[in-house]
Amino acid sequence: MGRVSLEGIEFHAYHGVYSEEKKLGNRFTVDIHVYSDFKRAMLYDELKSTVDYAALYNIAKSHMQEPVKLLEHLAHLMVQDILKAYPEVRTVEIIIKKHNPALGGVVNYSVIKVAYPEDYA
């Protein structure tokens, strides 16, 4: 088994519960880790035998463009699309950071991490 990852994908998006978040938006960083058996890709040099990280990026990008209230829900939507595109994937882990959340003090990030299956993380 191996891992395909995209780390530090940055977006400006409008996710959040509060009206300021929905109006002004915020900077977000997304990390995606996908665990799968890509032995065939190693042996035969075929993209179809692994997870295409361009496809992962496009899944993240499409969901970042559609505002939701909760980052947990956003990560869940990404995981579902990854599993739909790559049913052979054993585990997906999504980490989303909201930069400088408006909490009335200095906070670098609020962070959520979602892993499927849940017992992996």
**Residues with catalytic annotation?**
98
Of 77, 47, 73, the closest CA to residue 62 belongs to 77
Give the H or E element holding residue 7. Answer: strand 2-13
Tell me, what DSSP letter sits at residue 87? T
Dihedral sign, CA of 106, 72, 70, 81? positive
